[in-house]
A and B are shown apart, each in its own frame.
Chain A
Amino acid sequence: MQIRLQFFDEEEEVLLLDKDSPLHNLVPLRTLQEIRAAIETIDVFTVPIPSRSANAVLSSLRAIVPTSLQHLRRLVKPCYIPDSLVDFLAIPSTPPEENILYLLVCPVTDISEENLSNFLRELPAFSTTGTIPRIMTVAVPSSQPISAAQATEWSAKYWPAVYKRGNPYGPHPSIVSQTLRGLVDPENHILLAKRVATEAASSGEGLGFGAVIVDPQTGQILAAAGDARLRCNEKGWGNPLDHAAMRAIDMVAQRRLGRAQNVRPDNKVEVWNGIYLEDEGASGKIVVKVNGNSNIKNEDKDGNANGENGKEVDDRKDDGYLCHNLQVYLSHEPCVMCSMALLHSRVGSVVFGMRMTRTGALSAEEGGRQMGLFWRPELNWKFVCWQWKASPGEEMESHENVDA
């Protein structure tokens, strides 16, 4: 049997970036499963066997233990055993002069050591020479590696591992790089989100959080909203749920609704006070709509109702459903409510600035709530998520104890 230790089954698609590309500031978030997969190990039995009997032993074993752990090499030459295990697995110099291979049998939970020992002893590989199978227990990663780099790391640390193209625990590497390429001017949009945040705070109507939603098909900014939880109504209190992301999602819906054919013109629509932007993009002037509690619908800067000026750039023909595949830029990591609102709205990608370790719901890393809401198998939508690492001195105020 030929053993090939090949870690790179497929060339991973690598997005080559210019040295100065602002995309270097984007750090992809790891999913909760990816993080768990990176640390969980499982105890398995391993047995040194004569290499000429490898095939026979393998096929006999198939009858008594299920085949699992496909991401680990089943038969390993001693030279590929990780350094940390070499001493532990060392074979006494006698008796065998012949080549041996280490067989990874199965998780220790699949069979008792005694039963395994009895079974192996009866096999010709051991019975003919009268040797006693030397069963040892080693800890190996329980789930498959998510990248070639991780497979290499595990191979050096635990057991030779195989990286199969794909990522069962998160977005496929090619999806991540494709989505990254699809981000429309992320630097300007994250800066705009921060600017909106600063304005929200200085207006006294909200905390320093901001959100921007961009249509990747047209590059147009559909909404830019600051937090508004402190804005008082005529009764004298605000809405604690007027978070930036919630308001931005709502503004996108308002825009679409202003043009939907099936909505009667007299339909009352609750309109958020918000900021709409000119189509030119982030560098354009911010047009602030101060519309009180009136029912103005999505007027553009000239006061024309949307749809009447012939510019229907954001009204995509294929689907006007929710925020399907739109890009969202947030000054801060959103709270549970806002993260789930983004998921319900089917957004395509999210970039946030400041991580919120107390309240943020997107990151799955340690030192936070570890919710990783952007990519969870049990939920019916997933999106790709990055943190924008600010240059020193450019960080936003953290508000760490507040739901952003």
Chain B
Amino acid sequence: MQSALQIATSALQSNEVPVGCVFVHNSRIIASGRNDTNRSLCGTRHAELVAIDKILATYPPSIFKETDLYVTVEPCIMCASALHQLGIRKVYFGCSNDRFGGCGGVLRVHEGDGVDDGKKDGNGAGGYEVVGGIYSSSSVVRLRQFYVQENGRAPVATSKKGRELKTDNLPVDVDIL
């Protein structure tokens, strides 16, 4: 998770939303990713999908069944579904995402569709396990650091002069690593 946080920090420096992730297979990091939406002008280039593309360049899709994801922010609904379709084993995340989290923040995509009749392809209906709250305060601070920066690409730039970095009222950490 500390690696994921480092990657989030590097995203911050290149003016991307600071979310970082690593995929771990047999105790080894097989890929890392960070948000790349601003550079790519593509709203789907989230950290998870960037890393997934890297993994698939080297490993077959079946590797995800024995792979865990560590990501600084709860995967969004899109990524949660992508991870489900790939059959990820387990997801550890930092802070939860009440704007569009797909692992409990807004929807519970990680639980699957609740129907497991063996008909569905891929991972079927079974969901994957998620553990949240790991280094969540560090993850939140990264995000808050970003949102006091200006986002030059945002469609309607709002003034952020009045914003300041808040470090109070952070979520409770579960530093189990």
Contact = CB atoms under 8 A, between A and B. Distances in A.
B153 A401 contact: no
Contacts of A369: 113
B91 to A, nearest CB: 15
Contact of A319 (B79, B102, B155): B155
B117 to A, nearest CB: 9
Contacts of A256: 41
Q: Which of A235, A249, A340, A359: most chain B Cβ within 10 A? A: A340
Contacts of B122: 240, 403
A337 B119 CA distance: 20
Contacts of A246: 44
Interface stretch (A63-71, A132-140, A184-192, A371-379): A371-379
Interface stretch (B6-14, B55-63, B127-135): B55-63
Nearest to A260: B41
Contact of B60 (A237, A257, A340): A237
Q: Which of A256, A323, A341, A378: most chain B Cβ within 10 A? A: A341
B103 interface: no
Contacts of A238: 61
Interface residues of chain A: helix, strand, loop or mixed (majority): loop
Contacts of B115: 358
A56 interface: no
Interface residues on A, range: 35 or more
Given A321-B155, A324-B155, A401-B120, A241 B41 contact: no
A401 B100 CA distance: 25
A314 to B, nearest CB: 12
Contact of B99 (A254, A361, A380): A380
A379 B99 CA distance: 6
Interface in A296-347: 319-324, 335-338, 340-341, 343-346
A241 B86 contact: yes
A282 B107 CA distance: 37
Contacts of A241: 49, 52, 82, 85-86
A403 B85 contact: yes
Given A240-B61, A240-B86, A240-B122, A336 B42 contact: no
Contacts of A235: 57-58, 60
B95 interface: no
Contacts of A358: 113, 115, 119-120
Interface in B92-132: 99-100, 102, 106-107, 109, 113, 115, 119-122
B53 interface: yes
A300 to B, nearest CB: 19
A61 interface: no
B78 A340 contact: yes
A2 interface: no
A321 B37 CA distance: 10
Contacts of B100: 340, 343-344, 379-380
B82 A337 contact: yes
A239 interface: yes
A121 B80 CA distance: 58
Q: Which of A240, A320, A322: most chain B Cβ within 10 A? A: A240
A402 interface: yes
A358 B113 CA distance: 8
Interface in B36-76: 37, 39-45, 49, 52-53, 56-58, 60-61, 76
Contacts of B86: 240-241
A340 B85 contact: no
Nearest to B86: A240
Contacts of A236: 60
Given A239-B56, A401-B121, A403-B122, A340 B81 contact: yes
A361 B57 CA distance: 28
B140 interface: no
Contacts of B119: 358, 401
A13 interface: no
Contacts of B40: 253, 257, 269
B1 interface: no
Which 4 residue pairs are nearest across A and B when measured between Cβ atoms?
A: A253-B42, A340-B78, A336-B81, A337-B81
Interface of A: 233, 235-241, 246, 249-250, 252-254, 256-257, 260, 263, 269-270, 319-324, 335-338, 340-341, 343-346, 358-359, 361, 369, 371, 373, 376, 378-380, 401-403
Interface of B: 37, 39-45, 49, 52-53, 56-58, 60-61, 76-82, 84-86, 99-100, 102, 106-107, 109, 113, 115, 119-122, 153-155
5 contacts: A249-B44, A321-B155, A335-B81, A359-B113, A373-B77
Given A321-B41, A340-B77, 11 more contacts: A238-B61, A249-B43, A249-B44, A319-B155, A321-B154, A322-B37, A340-B100, A345-B43, A358-B119, A380-B99, A380-B100
